[in-house]
Structure 1
Amino acid sequence: MAWGVGDRLQGGKYTIEKELGRGRFGITYLVKNKNGDRFVIKTLNDDLLNSLNQLERERLKTMFLREALKLQKCKHKYIVEVVDSFEQADCLCLVMEYVNEVSLADLRPPILSEPDALRYIRQIGEALIVVHENELIHRDVHPGNILLRKREGQLEAVLIDFGLALDFDHILTTSRTKETSDGFTPPELYARGTITRAYSDIYSLAATLYKLLTGRTPVDAIKRKVDGEHLVSPKEFNEQISRHVNEAILTAMQLDPKQRPQSMREWLDSLGLTVENSQPSVIVPSNTNSNWERNIQFWGVVIAAIAAIGTLLSGIVGWIPFIKTSPSSSPALVSPSPSSSKTP
């Protein structure tokens, strides 16, 4: 269910101040706790949930829970922190720190020097190494999802807005339009059923570096792949870009994922950036997390059982010659219209 201004969650611990944004999969709210501290709460979009049948709703919830648990392990100074999690009126909620700062998309002037741009790219690259080590893919890296926060007198980049449960598209029987960011989304994220890996985030971070150094959004991957449009070398727009940085950007933005660096650390090395040692993952103890894990296990068993029954029935039909009808296929699912809002 959607909440309004003034609604209280988790027994009054959090009070809704306003809705920050609504995407196809999730809704985010700005909330305040009893001490007046502000946080962001992210939950699944109830319009999407209402469009699904019971089994699909539980599968989506399970995927959201599984990825939320992974995200809670991603403790890094350049990643927005997950500070709490709970369930309210059958709605799963993640509580994250509120970073009320400008993003790299808001920079004026829009072009950075190479050392400044590479400093932010190194910070986000280090954050994504931790994300990938926890078997997550961000899926939506672009300047608008990188905020600048001042710490000890220095500006540092902070990665926000993880695409939790976006792989739900891959289990549906009909195509759904993915949430994409033109110019920054790699081609494989436009295709249903594609398995994403670190190379997808590498493409997006390279496109972000392209924008920081040129002030221009690179041509969209689909236009390159389908219409044959050419990706202009960033050095053609900015002669101050060094040759090895220019080549590293172009290599990371290859349309074929196999031709890109396969790990974030490898790509950062090609830029000549030294990566700090990854911080160890830390699991935040919570009774709620235990309940979530039990939910994941329960629905995993249910889904596996349904699949096994389907396989058994299809086998029986093959052995009984006088059964002429085949098992009915699953009905097509109707996809809700995507929303363009992008929020933390």
Structure 2
Amino acid sequence: MAWVAGDRLQGGKYTVERELGRGRFGITYLVKNKNGDRFVIKTLNDDLLNSLNQLERERLKTMFLREAFKLQKCKHKYIVEVVDSFEEADHLCLVMEYVNEVSLADFRPSILSEPDALRYIQQIGEALIVVHENELIHRDVHPGNILLRKREGQLEAVLIDFGLALDFDHILTTSRTKETSDGFTPPELYARGTITRAYSDIYSLAATLYKLLTGRTPVDAVKRKVDGEHLVSPKEFNDRISPRVNQAILKGMQLDPKQRPQSMREWLDSLELTGETSKTETPVPPKSESNINWVAVTAIATLIAAIGTLLSGMVGWIPIFKPSPSSNPPSLSPSPSSSKTP
């Protein structure tokens, strides 16, 4: 069931303005609360759910629940923030701050200057350090998952979409080619039996820098590894790229994970990106008006780790998401104005 402009959710707490977009797994909507503050609501894609069997649907719902938990763990000014969660007509929903609708995939000009590209890469790299400190990898870093927000007259990058995030040392037990982004996914995330670590996000961020500086998506990792296709040096497409940056991109995109830098800090240091954002921020507690039941979310995550594939059917009885109110809702306390998009 797709929502349209004017639809009221949670008894009128949120009003849909329009659909923002449809990804592989989710649909995002721009909404307003009663105070006129804008937010983004993300829910699962009905078309995808209807195409899956019961076990696959439950797995997707579990991934969605885990996304909320992972976003709460990873607090950073360059990571989108979840501010609310609920269930509406059998749809699990995350409410996120509204950043902007322009991603680095849509930004013009398509080729950035080296200083501009490095500024965005540093911001996302620092955000990923926080992700990795929580022993997670994002697993889906690419220009489309990096939005641009204007703050104090300057554009800054914000990392979104933690729906595919995995724990450190997670061993892939199945091939998940539908959960990859051609040109940005490292080879180890295509094959079962591989172990996930920070080096996987390094590959993806290096590939993102490649794209920002050349306007070209790098050749897919599988084509490089299986078909022997050559990764053209980014400097061959843009001779203004410095030798240092060119080398760091190629090093970060090595097919063998052991040949890449093993930490995001190490890779950022190779780019000489050790400025103002070189220290991670102290985690900020959730806003008081947030209605996320994080105790329940944490319990869900614990259960996920403990019982794995037996999660099938679990979503139906764990009351993490608040159901649609059956009567008039209580008045809202004021929410801070936000400006982020997932």
TM category (shorter chain) comes to 0.7 to 0.9
Q: Name the residue aligned to 1:70.
A: 70
Q: 1:22-59 deviations in whole A, cap 9, x for unaligned? A: 33422222222112222111122344445556565445
2:293 aligned partner, one-letter code: T
Tell me the distance in 1 between the aligned counterparts of 2:21 and 2:54: 26
Q: Name the residue aligned to 2:297.
A: 292
Shift of 1:15: 1.7
Give yes or no for contact 2:206–2:253 (8 Å, CA) kept in 1.
yes
Q: 1:55-77 deviations in whole A, cap 9, x for unaligned? A: 65445433432331121232222
Greater shift, 118-127 or 128-137, is seen at 128-137
Evaluate the alpha carbon distance shift between residue 24 and residue 194 of structure 1 in structure 2; reply closer, same or farther with a 3 A threshold. Answer: farther
Shift of 1:253: 0.2
Supply the RMSD in Å over aligned alpha carbons. 3.1
Evaluate the alpha carbon distance shift between residue 183 and residue 258 of structure 1 in structure 2; reply closer, same or farther with a 3 A threshold. Answer: same
Say whether 1:22 aligns with 2:27.
Answer: no
**SS class of match (2:162):** coil
Structure with the larger helix share: 1
Shift of 1:14: 1.0
Q: Which protein is bigger by CA-based radius of gyration?
A: 1
TM-score normalised over the length of structure 2: 0.78
Evaluate the alpha carbon distance shift between residue 110 and residue 306 of structure 1 in structure 2; reply closer, same or farther with a 3 A threshold. Answer: closer
Q: Name the residue aligned to 1:316.
A: none
Tell me the distance in 2 between the aligned counterparts of 1:157 and 1:303: 34
Say whether 1:259 aligns with 2:264.
Answer: no
Q: How many residues align?
A: 307
2:283 aligned partner, one-letter code: S
1:169-208 to structure 2, matched below 5 A, reads 176-192=176-192, 194-208=194-208
Tell me the distance in 2 between the aligned counterparts of 1:306 and 1:116: 44
Identity over the aligned pairs, expressed in percent?
Answer: 82
Shift of 1:250: 0.5
Evaluate the alpha carbon distance shift between residue 22 and residue 237 of structure 1 in structure 2; reply closer, same or farther with a 3 A threshold. Answer: closer
What residue ranges of structure 2 are gaps of 5+ in the alignment? 313-340
What residue ranges of structure 1 are gaps of 5+ in the alignment? 308-342
Greater shift, 92-101 or 201-210, is seen at 92-101
Say whether 1:245 aligns with 2:239.
Answer: no
Shift of 1:199: 1.3
Tell me the distance in 2 between the aligned counterparts of 1:108 and 1:66: 34
**SS class of match (2:179):** coil
Tell me the distance in 2 between the aligned counterparts of 1:295 and 1:210: 38
Q: 1:261-289 deviations in whole A, cap 9, x for unaligned? A: 11111100111110421112345274623
Of structures 1 and 2, the one scoring higher in RCO (CA 8 A, sep 6+) is 2
Give yes or no for contact 2:68–2:297 (8 Å, CA) kept in 1.
no
Q: 1:154-177 deviations in whole A, cap 9, x for unaligned? A: 2211222333478999566xx554
Tell me the distance in 1 between the aligned counterparts of 2:306 and 2:184: 37
Q: 1:288-311 deviations in whole A, cap 9, x for unaligned? A: 23333444556766668899xxxx
**SS class of match (2:137):** coil
Greater shift, 79-88 or 16-25, is seen at 16-25
Give yes or no for contact 1:60–1:165 (8 Å, CA) kept in 2.
no
Give yes or no for contact 1:59–1:299 (8 Å, CA) kept in 2.
no
